Amino acid sequence: MRAVYIVDDDASIRRSTAFLVQSAGYHPLAFTSASNFLREASILAPGVLLLDVRMPEMDGFGLLDGLPAALGALFPIVMVTGHGDLATAVQAIRHGVRDFLEKPYEDHELLGIVARLWDDLAGHLARIEPQIVALRLTGKLTEREREVLILLSQGKPNKLVAHALDLSTRTVEMHRAQMFERLGVRTLAEATRLAVAAGLLG
C-alpha cells in the first residue's frame, strides 16, 4: 500500500488532495490536525506526508518537533503552504522536510514530488524492515510496559526495576508478562532485540 497522509485543517483541501493522489494510485488518509496525526503516527504504515504549515492549535512545525526521530524517516515530508517565504522554507529544510510546495500548485507538481519521495522511501524501507517491525510492535506497549522493557533490556533484574519504578516485584512481573504478550516474544533476549531495533535504548 502506497500511503499518502494529508494533514490540513481545510476540509476542501483534504478532499481535493485525497482525490488527486488516489487517482494516481496512492492510498490517501487525511487528518484534520497535527495532533491527530501524531497520536496515530506509531501505528501508521510508512508513507509520504503532505503537511500544511499554518494550522490552529499546532502548526506544521509543531508536528515536526513532536515526531520521534525513529519515525521521521518513515514519513518523508512535503510541506505545503499558502504563505511561502524564504525564512519558512529554510526552517522547513532544517527540520528535515524533503520538499516545499507553495499553494496554489499544479497537480503534476505535487504528484511528481510524491512519486519521487515514494521511490526513495521504498528503497529505505527495504533496508530498515527490522526497525519497522520493532517500532510497530513496541508501539503497542503502554507507557509503563515500555519503561519495564527498557529497564529489563538494560540488564536490571525485576527487583531493581520495581525499585526504580516504585512498584512491587509482582506488578513488574505482571507488566513483563503483558509486555511479552504484546510483543509476541517468549524471552527477554527477543524483547531486548526489539527494544534495540526500535531505538528505545538510546
Residue 47 Cα distances to 40, 98, 160, 171, 199, angstroms: 13, 13, 40, 38, 20
Q: Are residues 91 and 175 in the same domain?
A: no
* 92-131 confidence digits (pLDDT tens): 778 788 898 888 889 999 999 999 999 999 998 888 788 8
* pLDDT score of 190 more than 90: yes
Tell whether 202 is covered by a domain: no
* 138-185 confidence digits (pLDDT tens): 999 999 999 999 999 999 999 999 999 999 999 999 999 999 999 999
Q: Are residues 89 and 186 in the same domain?
A: no
Residue ending a domain, among 79, 112, 127, is 127
d(CA 134, CA 119): 23
Report the number of distinct structural domains present in the chain.
2
Average pLDDT over residues 37-45: 91
Q: Are residues 182 and 96 in the same domain?
A: no
Q: Are 142 and 199 in contact (CB under 8 A)?
A: no
Q: Are 50 and 92 in contact (CB under 8 A)?
A: no
Q: Are residues 93 and 185 in the same domain?
A: no
pTM of model > 0.75: no
Residue ending a domain, among 109, 127, 145, is 127
Q: Residue 178: which domain range?
A: 133-197
CATH number, residue 53: 3.40.50.2300
